[in-house]
Amino acid sequence: MKLTIVGCSPAWPNPGRAHSGYLLEHDSRRLLVDCGPGVLARLREAAHWPEIDAIAITHMHLDHCGDLVAWLWGHLHVPPRGTKGPDLWLPPGGRTELALLGSRFDEVFTIREYPAAEQFEAGGLTVTPFAVSHYTQPTWGLRIEAGGKVVAFSADTGPTEALAELAAEADVFLCEATLDQGEPGLRGHLTAGEAAAAALAARAHRLLLVHRPVELETPDGLELAYDGLELKL
Ligand SMILES: [Zn+2]
């Protein structure tokens, strides 16, 4: 399996960087996890129009799905007419939220909502969603398996026991670390220290911090993801 960090900005973009987008490739099949603003432009640096088998969205916040709008309009104009668009896997209830962004998505994408906490196949890779804790927004961390390797992605979340199972023994754990300090009340994000603790509890083999503002320092000993990073697992 090959993992490419297409973009990993937090809810506002780091300078010159894209929002959430992670490309997973196995056996000539390609799954894009999240499609935030800037992701499509980055994919177009590598291919005139991206050939992606499936897109899976963790939650319907704009920094994780906003480029679906650009993808819709681009697909209607750029690739040859009749080119099949990607399968689009939305979180449970995601269809209703997608409809708020536009009305023509079904012309390009084959849209399905993935079943809560049930494994599904997307673009030839096996995906298991885990409900995480992102304020009041329904949000799913995704565990992706192919070729005997595992990439786990926390999505946006505060501390939750779900991360231990989501990232158990993962070869790579992409874990969000939006915060400098914990937040009062309902949690929706993690500090770098909390991400490290979650990776330790899950016995993940490698932790990469994502969704981290450039304004924050990264503690020594922790690894920060960056746009363009490619890993062969
Ligand atoms: Zn986010």
Distance 168 CA to ligand 1 centre (A): 22
Q: What's residue 126's pLDDT?
A: 98
Q: What's residue 117's pLDDT?
A: 85
Distance 83 CA to ligand 1 centre (A): 30
Distance 199 CA to ligand 1 centre (A): 19
Distance 16 CA to ligand 1 centre (A): 17
β-bridge partners, 17: none
Contact 87, 55 (CB under 8 A): yes
What is d(CA 142, CA 151) in angstroms, rounded to the nearest whole number? 8
Q: What's residue 55's pLDDT?
A: 98
Q: What's residue 173's pLDDT?
A: 99
State if pTM tops 0.95.
Answer: yes
Distance 38 CA to ligand 1 centre (A): 14
Q: What's residue 132's pLDDT?
A: 98
Distance 176 CA to ligand 1 centre (A): 9
Q: What's residue 109's pLDDT?
A: 98
- Got the DSSP string for 211-231? S--TTS---TT--B--TT-EE
**Domain 2-232 CATH assignment equals 3.40.50.720:** no
Distance 62 CA to ligand 1 centre (A): 8
Torsion of CA 155, 160, 161, 166, to 10 degrees: 0
Mean pLDDT of successive 10-residue segments in the chain (233 residues)?
Answer: 98 98 98 98 97 98 98 97 97 97 97 95 97 98 98 98 98 98 94 98 98 97 98 98
Neighbours of 86 (CB within 10 A): 25
Distance 80 CA to ligand 1 centre (A): 33
Q: What's residue 106's pLDDT?
A: 98
What does the domain layout of the chain look like in residue ranges?
Answer: 2-232
Query: pLDDT digits over 116-127, tens only?
Result: 989 999 999 999
Distance 91 CA to ligand 1 centre (A): 15
Contact 92, 114 (CB under 8 A): yes
Distance 158 CA to ligand 1 centre (A): 12
Q: What's residue 216's pLDDT?
A: 98
Distance 44 CA to ligand 1 centre (A): 22
Distance 64 CA to ligand 1 centre (A): 6
Q: What's residue 227's pLDDT?
A: 98
Backbone φ and ψ of 117, nearest 5°: 60, 25
Structure tokens of 227?
Answer: 């746009």
Q: What's residue 49's pLDDT?
A: 98
Distance 188 CA to ligand 1 centre (A): 10
Give 207's contacts (C-beta < 8 A, 6+ positions apart): 173, 175, 195, 196, 199, 222, 223
